[in-house]
Chains A and B, each alone.
Chain A
Amino acid sequence: MEMNIVIAGEAGQGAFSVELELTETLSRLNTHFFATKHYMSRVRGGHNYHMIRIADHPVHALRGGKWDMIVALDGETERLHKPNLREGGIYLSQEMAKEIGDAAKEAFGNIAASNAILVGIVLAVIGVSPEKVAEAAEPGKEEYLKKGVEFAAQWKLTGAFPVSATAGEHRKFDGNQALALGAILGGCQFMAGYPMTPATSIMDYFSKAAAGLPIHFEQAEDEIAAINMVLGASYAGVRSMAATSGGGFALMQEAVSLAGMTETPVVIAVSQRPGPATGLPTRTEQADLHFVLNAGHGEFSRIIFAPGATGEMIALTRKSFELADRYQIPVFILTDQYFADSVQICEEEIPLDVGSREYREFDRTYKRYQLTDDGISPLTFPGLSEALVKLDSDEHDEEGKITEDQGLRIRMADKRRNKITLLRKEAVSPTFYGDLDASSFLFCWGSTKHIVKEAAERLSSEGIPAAVLHFGQVYPLTPEMVAPYRLEEKRLIGVENNAGGQFARLLKSELGLAVDHSVLKYDGDCFTVEELYQALKGLLS
């Protein structure tokens, strides 16, 4: 059983607060849910909506199709969403919302109490008993929720869409929260940034965490300064990262190249939104894969991760810091607005041990770019020993001094480029879902993971066998990653949140795999399961 609800209104009317309070309460009740939002680039007005899927089984995507319940805080909701209300669904009209507001003012002298009243109504709709509702209420809000339960009874909504609580002990995260947590677990102690949606909340979480931990966040004057501060801190011996979106990353590019040249470990999170230029600032897209892949002038090695689930985000972000250190390279985490703004339950155990760095000491003969058999020079930091640490953005010798010696140039260029051989051995395998014998394989990466998985499960249950390969690491790609799947016999379908099929292009160039079809979406929204299922059904049956 599940209940799909949309709460819609102008920015500032409280729909977001309802989402926050409802997801907090559902989490306390150990009820499975998935919540995401569609919002405009403005602080007040417009039309925003918050979509929450409540279920008696794990859910990590929007179901799509018809709504079971709609809460209208503005007039636009009626036009935009009411046609999508299922038969027998609940429509909580603007008038009813006003009634709730009046009750909040009358009973509690506080219009903001309407948010909690709405939460109480939803809990009653999914059949939570009044006792449980009282238990789950945030301290001080018991009466508000109770009022909601009364409204539900008055409007005969109680138990209309019963959903039992089956989640058990868990944590819940939005994508950026998972990213920030993964960074801290990776031993990251420094971030510098310039606010930009949808990366700002990474900075918010990080600076919140910094308040009580040996961690520093610095707001920079621009993205160029941010990434250079990050490289400075990394050079000085602290694991460091930058977070931004496409436009900000465009400004950071020269320093990506600097990290490659100076072999300075760095992790950069790029939270994608639709471009080009300012694009749709608060919507989603997966269109910066090739940008990140090719960012920075010159040739050097890199890794790009694109996690698709909160547990995976935490694990891969943590790992990014170890890899950046070990290979002295830039490591990227590609995410997007949809993942950043989706709150979900994480069923996996999260190991909470914090990664740390080795501090090696050397004498005056230390050479930062010493040529070694595996191409990795010993790494240390200034002021720890007699060793002087010399970094140069020019071509340099082993010591770090500027050079134009062409023989050295070739050895240093090879050193930087050949790291990719080592990185290929470390590549994280894709996640496989489904039956190895399935005739169709769906390829996806990043935030679409669970949407594709659920759509494939639906197809398979209806006799259209489809398996899924989700790539949490999108670069480098190696033949070993896809070796177990006999792909030469399969029909390959790419699913991407962009217009150009960027990952399909990468599959072709890196692995020689050609997808037979691509299912693409680039209107600024993510796929819903229903929508993807319909598109794939048309293609496969």
Chain B
Amino acid sequence: MMETKVDTAWCPGCGNFAIRDVLEKALHELPVPVSKIVLTSGIGQAAKMPHYVGVNYFNGLHGRSLPLAVGIKLARPDLTVVAYSGDGCMYGEGGNHFIHTIGRRLDLTILVSDNRVYALTKGQSSPTTDPDVKNPLSPEGNRNIPLNPLALAITMGAPFVARGFTGEKEHLKELIKQAILFKGTALVDILQPCVSFNKINTYQWYKERVFHLENPLTDRYEALKTAELWGEKIPIGVIYRNESAECRQIKEIFRKQATQEDMECQVDMKCVMMR
């Protein structure tokens, strides 16, 4: 069932439209009822995505889509949990959560609409903005080294790391489906042109550079090298896939209750010194 088209908050020509189309299709093509799918998001133009795809959602605060997703998954491992937000939200404000969520080894999907700019606040540097790019808060050019989300995710031990491009919708849809169906923490960083504020990384710019990886790399160090590729040649597809990584076992707690007998055993818990 498709969501009826609603008034979105995006600019005409925004890459988010393409993502909305493929995400909606991908979610509804999954062998999972939509009532069992939860999207979490943060704040920003991308973070409005859950409103437009017809599943459960918790659109939370800036940077916090991942801890919400972790809490949901730990409480309800039966739910399919996808965190969705932009590069500023996921890698900037939520950078610490991005690092540590991967380490938790949960079956979660992280989708990042990466337009390499802060769009909703009108064009400031994001963690993935290239050096020397000029914008309102960096009139002399961005002074920072950009964060490489793929390399960071691989380093943290993410078992599924991919990159998609909004100009290749069918390819992107398959990547998203693979990521969600993968048992483990999966990242898809999505190259998304911002027609209003990013005049460099345009559709044309990407089209001239992206190339498809034939097969996912299974060697972590080879994958890291590929993740480092940027500029003339930009790989898209599954950069790294580790089938042998194990998800953490989650205790079933939902609808299971402690009994009075359990409580009899708990009341004499010994004192513990605090530090």
Interface residues of A (CB under 8 A from B): 16, 20, 23, 43, 171, 174, 177, 180-181, 184-185, 187, 189-190, 192, 195, 197-198, 200-201, 204-205, 208-209, 212-216, 218, 220-222, 224-226, 228-238, 240, 254-255, 258, 262, 282, 340-341, 343, 350, 352-354, 356, 359, 381-383, 385-394, 400-402
Contact = CB atoms under 8 A, between A and B. Distances in A.
Contact of A235 (B9, B58, B96): B58
A385 B35 contact: yes
B64 A228 contact: yes
Contact of B60 (A195, A216, A228): A228
Most chain B Cβ neighbours within 10 Å, of A187, A354, A387: A354
Nearest to B48: A402
Interface residues of B, number: 62
A214 B68 contact: no
Contacts of B34: 388
A228 B67 contact: yes
6 contacts: A177-B269, A192-B71, A228-B67, A229-B68, A236-B71, A236-B75
Given A195-B275, A209-B266, A231-B68, A387 B35 contact: yes
B275 A232 contact: no
A230 B71 CA distance: 6
B260 interface: yes
Contacts of B257: 187, 214, 354, 356
The interface centre, meaning the residue of A16, A226, A233, A382 with most chain B CB atoms within 10 A of its CB, is: A382
Interface string B165-179: 000000000000000
Interface string B252-267: 1111111110111111
B251 A214 contact: yes
Given A198-B274, A209-B269, A212-B265, A383 B59 contact: no
A345 to B, nearest CB: 13
Max chain A CB contacts within 10 Å: which of B6, B57, B66? B57
Given A232-B73, A233-B74, A402-B9, 13 more contacts: A201-B272, A205-B272, A218-B70, A218-B71, A228-B61, A228-B68, A236-B76, A240-B71, A356-B257, A383-B56, A389-B56, A390-B51, A401-B51
Contacts of B36: 382-383
A467 B51 CA distance: 57
Which of A195, A215, A350 has the most chain B CB within a 10 Å cutoff?
Answer: A215
Across the A-B interface, the 7 shortest Cβ-Cβ residue pairs: A232-B71, A228-B67, A229-B71, A214-B256, A233-B75, A221-B100, A382-B56
A204 B75 contact: no
